[in-house]
Every structure is written in structure tokens, then in C-alpha cells.
Structure 1
């Protein structure tokens, strides 16, 4: 039995899009043409609705001040050149000042940090905790750190630019070569060929390495050309200039990791990011999402995360790591709380949702990561992934329902949903940089289906279609059950393969398993087929009947999603429940003993 605290649900919201009610959606449109959301759009009502949906955390994506194309020079903020900004609104992963917030998000840019503090306060009052991004691998090409506190130094400000590498340089350099913008491809031109409303010339001499590791003074169009790579004390030949964490520290808690580093010299970039994280914690932030964490040495994460946990032991730390062979390293030695379960669970579910895969694969994925299952955060959408409803993914938001039930209930790990997912947002707009199927993170744009829920900032779903409202109701029922269920933080047993071997009409479109803790016992069944219903006598294995202490007789089962009642019948030690399951339907059947 687990003694873990209750299951958590992260609601990811792209902050500048949330409250934007402008429906113009002109490709490459300016902030005046297409509009932008503000911190103030997260009203008490809006936050209550997110909490009532079943979220426990809200991840405000795109808060730190990043490079963008809008003239704020009147506020003492330098302009950014289109040649080194993706889109017009800019990538949130090209941070320009880690000690301030995006001026687009403020009603008054001179008070933008205070407006963010008020947002944190409102969020906490709505019983939600706050997550923001830290992007450790790279910063904006034109990083300035204008708001860096006295006594600290912005990234790169003290670098020796005459060498390619020094341990305490924050960036890598290409001495003797000047940065050149990429050769534009696929008909792309910055801002779609438009000119900004201000004069701008970007000079970088010597050139720096690009964020994805390109060592060319002129990066490729497909490189992360708008960013530069941070140096963590890793030499160009891969050798490192920091202490290696002993393997035994995989079994030592964050306090032991903190003690390991407290008397050791570390590269200057480590200290800078530590100070940045502690700064945001002091502002009331409850956790961080780390971008591309596997591109940064695990020793740095041990250092950073142990410092964070010493300041806030319940900080929520989640990260992108896409190499399953490194999962355990970053969890145990890097002291990450949660990693994206993309390459295993997400990719498998997406394959099934698209009509290609079999449900047989899901229990195998679960079994292969059983030792770390609590640390693998599940999702079906985020800002990097295609929308379920887009033709490029599944073409129908309903196809996400069984996969969402599985994502929510199969493990003890947290669940994440992306704003608009709950109303079937398809991301069909051509915003400018990038392409449809993903809601743009680079340009000013509206989010049409989600705007119908926003309903002119009433945040009540008043313009939703019946299908959209019904989908949101499904998400609300599922998420609220998820965060309240004790069984979902308890034990798990697969019954899928037992039924594949023993139950007539049970097939590879269906998935079943059980969860339990103390007196809460659940049987979960999902049908992934988009058009066929199935009927069968679902069977429970004899060892489960013994574990649950069930006797011959009848037990009532109540569906936790929509209230349907079924009967579990046990005769001579054989337990079966009749299941007739519609296309894309799921049951979470609670045993009433």
C-alpha cells in the first residue's frame, strides 16, 4: 500500500492566450490586430472554474520576460530584432530577463511584476498552486537580465569572449566569427516579410553556440537560432569541470545532496540558476517545469533541486526528459519529482487513438516502468504537442476520452491537461510561425473553441456547443474523481491479459485493470474503438478475489463517471461482471461491499 499524498492535476495554460477574446486571427498579426491576454484575465471567477474543473496546480506558461516584437522602449525595455525572434509574440523559451515577466501580460508594464504577484495571490486564494517555467539549457540570443538584483550578474555579462570555453563563462563562443542569421527556408521570412514599427540591428560578435548545440556562426533554419546555449562546465570535448555525483547518491534524499554540494565549487551558471529559482520561490511560486532537462548535466539538477527543496520541501518539480534510458538517472540522482511520460505512455496512447495500436501494449508500458511509475507525469496535450481534435492527431476530441481515463487512473503519477483540451480545441489557425494542429506559442492569436468557454470574460462556458459542454463535463467528472480517490494512490493489478485469454468478445480495443486502497476498490474498463460497442462478461482473476477478500454472492458496482450500476457476481470463486461498453466509453466501477 502507498502512503503517497493525493493525486495531483496540473492545468497548463498558455498565459497570453487564456483571456484573449479577439477573434481576428490575422497571420502574423500585431498585438493590436489580434489581441493578447493579461494576468488580470485570471479573475477570481476564472480561477474558481479551473479549480472546480479538478485542477490542483496551474502552470502559467510563458511568464518570464522573453524576446518579442512589440515596442516597449517607452518603458525602458529594449526592442528585440525579428531575425532572432520566432513569430511576433516570441517563444516563451527564449528568456531575455529571468528576474521579470513578459510585459505583454501586464495592464501596466511598469507594474508587471506586481501584477504577477497579485496573480499568485489570487491563484492561491482559489486553492490552486503555481508553476512557472525555468529553461535551463538556453536563453534568448539577446539575453540582458536587465532586472537582475544588485550583487548578481546577468548571464554572459562577465564572460571572457575571446575563448570558446572557460568554466565560468555562461556561454560558448566562436572567436573571430560574427553571428549571421539563418538562410530562411520554406518561404519563411521574419514577421511574414513585414517590418517592425522600430529600427533594429542585431550584432553578435563573437558568435555564440546556438541553444540546441550548433557550433556554427550561422545556424541552420531548423536550429534553435533564437537562443544560445548555457555552459554548465562541460568542455567542448565533453569533459566536465565539476564534481561527479557518486552512484550511491541515487539512494540519498535531497538533504544529502544539498550537503554534498554546499562546500564544493560549481560553475557560475549553476549559481545563477539557483538564485533565479529561489527568487521565484520567494514570490510565492510553488514549483517549476524544466524545459529540455536532459540537455543539462544531472549533477546540476542535484545541486539546483536540493537547494530548492531545502527552501520549499513540497516544491513541485517536473521536467522534459525524452530518453527513457535516462529516466531513473534524472529522478534518483537529479532529484526530479516528475518527468513527462511521453516516449512510453503518450506515444502508445496516441498510436491507439489514431487507430493503429492495440491496447495490449499499455500494460506492458506500465510494467516496464513500474519502479518509477509515480514519477512519470501523464498528458495527452501540451504546448508542444498536436491537439487531439486536429486532423493531424485524431480529428475528434472524443477519441481522447478513454485515453484520458487511462492517463488519469492507471498510475499514482500526476496528470496534466492543456487549456482548451477540455472543450475540444483543434488549433486550426494559421498564426504565422509554425503550422496549425498546435496552438501557436509564437504569435498573437485567439483560441476559438476556448474563447466560447471564456464567453466575453464571464468564464462560464456560455457560448459552448452542447458537444463542447458535454466534453468539459466529462473532464470535470474525471478530474474531480481523480484528485479525491484514495484507490488511485494505492495498488494496481492488470486484468487485461487475464480477460484476453479467458473472456469471449473481449479484445484489443478494450483495456481493463483494477486499483484499490483500503476499502476503496475500482474496476476500470475503457473502449478505444471509435464506432463499435462490445459486450462481454469481464472476469476478475482468482488471486484478486482473494486479495480483496470477496465471497460468493453479489456486489453492487457504481460507475464514478455517470452513475451507472452493475453487478459483480461471484459463484464458486469465479467473479464476473456484465459489461456493455459503447464506442469511446469508459467505466470506473467502484465496489460497494
Structure 2
């Protein structure tokens, strides 16, 4: 979810978790149980925008003016092309039914008040009904669930797997479960609203005080609408999604959502069973057994049932929004239940506090966490010329015990687009960043649709801002639309440079997906070459090795957009020894384009290779 708010200080108490300094061994039982044996590639698509062919892009435009993509736009051809890019999972963002400004009363869906909806198309992180899907995405809104189930089937037929969002921390201000399975009660219907907190209440309340709209909010950009009257009926007021305890939240709060109660008392203490000491070392099966028969808060059960509902319908995994705002004991409960139903489920989450990473992996049983505040932020600083690349090695060392769990990305719906002037400034500058973030880790790599053809997010959708592709508005995505080519999905309208960029992504992702070395060992070459390599430019060049029993790789990349670098790369004796190389000459050839071949000369147990690297160029040399 887009972070447009300052968190309320009181919530910091709610989010405190006991520090857990456990160590992970790369080949331990948990890795075998939960983590893939090959490099996974996640392709995030904003489902509403992927198939939209309309290029009008009027700010605050309606669905009729600016268009919208549908589930059916993911044709077998489109999915084959995504698969051929090297992708293994498609994350369909914005699928669960969220609040929108559109009349769907004919199919039994109530109106949403524009004063508690962001944008015209609505935030995908203000879910209104977890047992159905966004009617905007269906050709026939009444059959929207069937159309999504058909998309799941098509995705599987393309040998791809399906991820959707679950947002346990908050739900839409007006949640209405119109599609609940038999016996499922809506959030909040059984709450005692006379108290601020009760364990089995689904929400936190501000008793006897009605909700008030934030000052300065301008719904629909000031357009008149029958439901815009300066009020929203909620009495008593609930805590807002980001933790605001005010009946009148700020306009920068997540005012369109309400905070879900997981049994954390307002003073931050826990009102549920805690995991015994040592459970950080135990398996999903053992976590599942621990929770069996335990009394847990109502919200835990509701979200577990939601996840299992979608798992039963063929969804292969989930991306959890703002996971660290929910206690890791709940994640243990929910994730172990999902793994019990589908041991291969792919579970990834937003967690931005490095001190909590190991808690959410080992105790919360997450497969993957965003590596945002370390690797992503460091790469952004490097390409913007603010820091040399050496820090990447220190980050890798610090994450070594959990490296396999730290999903890498350069672009997603929350962040500025990689090619935007506010980030890298051009698609070409993203290339060395992409090589490093893909090859430096055995964890999955994620690509946001349009990234592979240089989308820069220049459109003004209305509520959304420049440099990000809006998730709140009906807009088109120009570079992606040129690749889509009116539904042909053949890149027919791309420029030559855009075609070349996509070819780069395709080669890199497919190579990494079939590389045993990228799932093996890592060692940095930066320190030894900074000290010893003749001509090596450590302010712009970064190098490292990856290897397995069957494959040896040397990765060299140049972050400079201006300077070539000619140098003699040193491979230290300890690596030569680990690779069992005798003195002699070994041919190493680049695996991205095959244009660069050089010799690794091993003399007295140390290696050297002559390298000439152009601006923004990268080599993945294979022995």
C-alpha cells in the first residue's frame, strides 16, 4: 500500500515484538520445506491496468473515458509471453473486491461513499468483500468470480502460478461481505462497540464518538456527486488503518480503512497464546500442531478462512500488505494453516524493519520478505551517484543467514518507477541494477509490468502522482500498451530500444531461472579488487562470484553511465581453491549476450582476467 502517512506514535507500542536473534543455515530443514530449489521470478501486474488499451489518460477520468483492463485480457498469448520472459509467478494485484466509485447496485453491491475512497477507481488496499473480486475487472460483473477462476485456470495452463493480495492489517471503511460462504459472519457484526477493545472484537472503537471526515480532503477532485455531503455514517468511530486513534483522522492517514484487531491491547500487550521458546527452529507442521485447539482472536480465524478459501480455488500464494503491523504469532497461525493445505504455497510480505526480519521469517513462517530498506535503497543511491557500490557487500554479509528469504525488486506499485527521472532516470540505468539484484541472491526477483519495456510513470492519473503508475485511477500505461499492441502481445509498437530492453530482461531472467550457481554460494570481489586490481574503478564497478558444484560465475557490472573501465580483475586464492582450479588458462564467456570472452589466468593459485566494460554494461562470465 502507498505509504502517505506519518504513523501514530501510539501504534509503535502495538507493533513491538520480542527480538529474536536466531541464525538460519542455508541448507537447513526449513529451506527444504519452504523455499524453492530454483530462482523464482515474480511478475507483478496491476490487474486493472494490464489490459487497458485506452490511451486517453484524462486526469480523474471515468472508466468510460480512460478505460479499464479485464481478467479476459490475460489471453493465452499474453500469458505465454509473460512465461517466456522467465516468469514463474504472476502477482495479480488488486483482485479482491475493494471500494470503487461506480454503480454496481444491479448486482447487489452497495455504493461506496467517495469521501472514504481514494481516487475514482479506489485503492486495492481498501478491501470491501474478501470472498469476491473487483467487478471492474469482469466483462460480466455478475459473473466476476467465474471470470477470475477462468484466469487462474489459464495461468496454470501457461505453467505459471497465481499470487493475490491479502491485507490483514486493515479493511475498507465500509466492508460488506455480500459473497460470504455459509456460516461466515462479517467483520464487526458481533463486536461490542461500547468498549475500545475486546479480544474478539474485529475493530478498535472510540466509544460514543462518531467518525468525522478529515479536513482538506477533496473527493473526486471537487466533482459533484450524490453521496458527497461532508459526512460518513460510522458511529462509534473506529481506529483508522494506519493506527490513528482519532475520530477525525488526518487527510494523510489511511482514512479509507479501519484497523483490524488481532488481540493486541491498546497498551501493546498481547491477549493470545505466545509461541514457546525454540519455535523459531521448528517447521510449519509443528507450528500448525501448536495452534490446533488453541483459543485465538476472532480476526485470526476470519483471515485464515479467507486465505484457505482462495487456496482451495487454486491461488498458489499471497502477498501480504504491511505485515509488520500484525503480530507474528498470527502469521504463524495463518501461514502454517496455508502450508498445511498447500505445502508449496508462496508467501511474501512487506516488512520494512530489518530488526524484525528474522521474527517474521522464523516465527511468522514467511517464505519471503521485501529487501527494500537495504538492497533496494542502496541500489537507488548508487545509480543516483550518492554512494559507491561497496555497501552491497556489507548488506549481503548482514543478510547471509536469511538471504534466501529476501526477495529483491527495483519497481512495484508503491515505489517510483525505475525509469522515472526521480529514480534511475532512464531504463538503461536500470540494467546494472537489475543484474546485481537478480544475480546477487538466491531469493526471488520481482518485476513490475512495464518495467521490462522502460515505463517511466509520467501520467497524471488524478489522485495518483507522477513517477508512479497510479493504483487509484483509471489510466493507461504507455510503454506497456506499445508492447501489448492492441491485444496482440507481440511488442509490435515498441521502439527498437524498448525491444532491446525487453530482450535484456528476457535473457537475464531466463538465465537466472536455470542457473544452479545463483542458488549456490556468494562471495564478493569488491574489497580485493579495490586494493589490488590495476585500473579497477570501485566507485562505479561492482563484482562478485556465484557458484555451485556444476557452475562457476563471475559477475561484473558498471554503474557509470559515462565511463568505460579497463582493468585486470583479481580472483583471490580462496575462491580459486574452492573452485578447484589448477594453474593455467580458462576461457570465461558472458552469458547475457555472448559478445565478451576473455581468459582467466591462474598463476600460483591466484586468478586474473582482463576486462573491458562499457558504461552501464554487465557481464555474467561462466567458467
TM-score bracket for this pair, using the shorter chain length: over 0.9
**For 1:253-264, what aligned pairs fall within 5 Å after superposition?**
253-264=283-294
Q: 2:474 aligns with which of 440, 444, 449?
A: 444
Relative to structure 1, the CA distance from residue 290 to residue 115 in structure 2 (aligned partners, 3 Å threshold; closer, same or farther) is same
Q: State yes or no: 1:190 paired with 2:222.
A: no
**For 1:88-237, what aligned pairs fall within 5 Å after superposition?**
88-184=120-216, 189-196=218-225, 202-237=232-267
CA drift of 1:496 comes to 1.3
Q: Which residue of 2 aligns with 1:456?
A: 486
Q: 2:383 aligns with which of 332, 340, 353?
A: 353
Q: 1:53 aligns with which of 65, 85, 89?
A: 85
Retained in 2: the 8 A contact 1:71–1:198?
no
Q: Which residue of 2 aligns with 1:382?
A: 412
Q: State yes or no: 1:518 paired with 2:549.
A: yes
Q: Which residue of 1 aligns with 2:430?
A: 400
Q: Which residue of 1 aligns with 2:577?
A: 546
Cα separation, 2, equivalents of 1:285 and 1:277: 9
Cα separation, 2, equivalents of 1:364 and 1:131: 32
Retained in 1: the 8 A contact 2:551–2:622?
yes
**For 1:292-303, what aligned pairs fall within 5 Å after superposition?**
292-303=322-333
Cα separation, 1, equivalents of 2:307 and 2:225: 34
Cα separation, 2, equivalents of 1:557 and 1:239: 58
Unaligned 5+ segments in structure 1 are none
Q: Which residue of 2 aligns with 1:498?
A: 528
Cα separation, 1, equivalents of 2:183 and 2:130: 15
Q: State yes or no: 1:82 paired with 2:94.
A: no
Retained in 1: the 8 A contact 2:113–2:227?
no
Cα separation, 1, equivalents of 2:564 and 2:586: 25
Retained in 1: the 8 A contact 2:464–2:473?
no
CA drift of 1:519 comes to 2.0
Cα separation, 1, equivalents of 2:228 and 2:268: 40
Cα separation, 2, equivalents of 1:574 and 1:232: 57
Deviations 1:298-346 (A, max 9, x none): 1000000000000000100000000000000000000000000001100
Q: 2:96 aligns with which of 64, 71, 77?
A: 64
1:273 aligned counterpart, secondary structure: helix
Q: Which residue of 2 aligns with 1:527?
A: 558
Cα separation, 1, equivalents of 2:145 and 2:227: 25
Retained in 2: the 8 A contact 1:69–1:196?
no
1:430 aligned counterpart, secondary structure: coil
Q: Which residue of 2 aligns with 1:363?
A: 393
Q: State yes or no: 1:306 paired with 2:342.
A: no
Retained in 2: the 8 A contact 1:167–1:267?
yes
Cα separation, 2, equivalents of 1:139 and 1:197: 24
2:330 aligned counterpart, secondary structure: helix
**For 1:411-426, what aligned pairs fall within 5 Å after superposition?**
411-426=441-456
Deviations 1:120-173 (A, max 9, x none): 000001110000000010000001111111111111111111111111110111
Retained in 2: the 8 A contact 1:24–1:33?
yes
1:247 aligned counterpart, secondary structure: coil
- Worse-matched range after superposition: 12-21 or 552-561: 552-561
Cα separation, 2, equivalents of 1:160 and 1:99: 24
Retained in 2: the 8 A contact 1:569–1:575?
yes
- Worse-matched range after superposition: 493-502 or 415-424: 493-502
Deviations 1:179-214 (A, max 9, x none): 111101xxx511111134778873111111000000
TM-score scaled by length of structure 2: 0.93
Retained in 2: the 8 A contact 1:397–1:424?
yes
Retained in 2: the 8 A contact 1:58–1:131?
yes
Deviations 1:527-581 (A, max 9, x none): 0011111000101101111111111221111111000222111233331111100
1:456 aligned counterpart, secondary structure: helix
Retained in 2: the 8 A contact 1:165–1:173?
yes
Q: State yes or no: 1:333 paired with 2:346.
A: no
Q: Which residue of 1 aligns with 2:269?
A: 239
Cα separation, 2, equivalents of 1:495 and 1:389: 28
> Cα RMSD (Å) of the superposition?
1.2
Q: State yes or no: 1:34 paired with 2:66.
A: yes
Q: Which residue of 2 aligns with 1:509?
A: 540
CA drift of 1:508 comes to 2.1
Cα separation, 2, equivalents of 1:72 and 1:199: 18
Cα separation, 2, equivalents of 1:444 and 1:123: 24
Unaligned 5+ segments in structure 2 are 1-25
Retained in 1: the 8 A contact 2:170–2:259?
yes
Cα separation, 2, equivalents of 1:197 and 1:51: 45
CA drift of 1:371 comes to 0.5
Deviations 1:61-96 (A, max 9, x none): 000000010111111111101100000000000000
Question: How many residue pairs were aligned?
Answer: 588
- Worse-matched range after superposition: 85-94 or 350-359: 350-359
CA drift of 1:247 comes to 2.9
Q: Which residue of 1 aligns with 2:18?
A: none
CA drift of 1:248 comes to 0.8
CA drift of 1:174 comes to 0.8
Q: State yes or no: 1:43 paired with 2:75.
A: yes
Cα separation, 1, equivalents of 2:225 and 2:485: 32
Retained in 1: the 8 A contact 2:94–2:124?
yes
Q: State yes or no: 1:563 paired with 2:567.
A: no
